[in-house]
Amino acid sequence: MKIIATALDNSTYEIGSILFCELVKSADAPCDSLSVKFRSKEIPPELNSIKAFEESKIVFNGFVDTQSAEIYSDEFIITVYARSSACLLVDNEAQPQMLFKPCFSQLFMMFAKPFGFINKTERLFSEVSYDIQKGTSCYGAMNNFVYAFSGRNLTVTPENEMKILKPSDNQRNLESFRISGAKQIINRGELISDIVYKINGSDSYSYHLESRSASEKGISRKRLINLSGLPPWQRESSAHKKLCSSFSEYNQLEVTLIGYNNFSLLERVIYPSFCSGEYLVSRFVFTQNENKKQTKLLLYREIDAKEINYVDK
């Protein structure tokens, strides 16, 4: 992996003598992360941005959060941690305001365009007013809107393109890769069978979003949430997100591949000789040290929660 950092004075610094490198992408986190530890004869200048390439293709584009230097004999050990460019949207707060029937393009122009991002999402429109509350990040202001209308989250590519994160059109067979290990995980401890919520501060918890799928698996786990502080049109999507996210860890695979293997988040994959059915990539971790390179994938099976809405009488 080729890693190039840019200092505050815009000078570039190619990182060599890498001891350890880790690139992490996760479907439930807006920012990718890059950690790299390397030897150097001198302490590099203060680094601002960093990019990583694999066979000339950019795989990471972000900004340095922390940089440290330790001295060992006649050399230094430098450690750098960076987050992808989406950190600009996460770290900056959106101005609280009420927007009348906005579309996503409007939100993008307000909260992402000033940072140089490119809009590659579908056209989404609202027929109701959209309330952006105090403390909401620029990413949150856009992502909450997108999730309410699509049930999906936003992602930012290394090319600074903003897209809706959705399962891929094509399916890849893991058996065409060199696999060094695999593990199946069934986690029943996170499943939620019933979300009970209230929509007004003075009301009781009488609204239910129940999962028949969880009940069919013998799960009885209730969660109470107060949604009275949310705008009416966001309440149902918030309850839906909490219920469905509990299924993301139910049926998982961990697969370790030899070398660097590029996979997109939510890419469809199968591993017929180990587990039947289709899985989606929820986490991608590439690690490199002086001896080896490997790619670890965390996969999950998308399950229909079979939701039922009702109100206590």
Give the tokens for residue 278: 């289709």
Rounded to an integer, the average pLDDT of 175-202 is 90
Kindly report the average pLDDT of the chain as a whole number: 92
Q: 196 and 207 in contact (C-beta within 8 Å)?
A: yes
Residue 53: how many other CB atoms lie within 10 Å: 15
- Report the distance separating Cα 1 and Cα 272, nearest Å: 31
State which amino acid sits at residue 184. Answer: Q
pLDDT, position 107 = 96
pTM: 0.90
Give the tokens for residue 52: 């990583």
How do residues 152-178 score in pLDDT, each as one tens digit? 999 999 999 999 999 999 999 999 999
- Is the model's pLDDT at 202 over the cut of 80? no
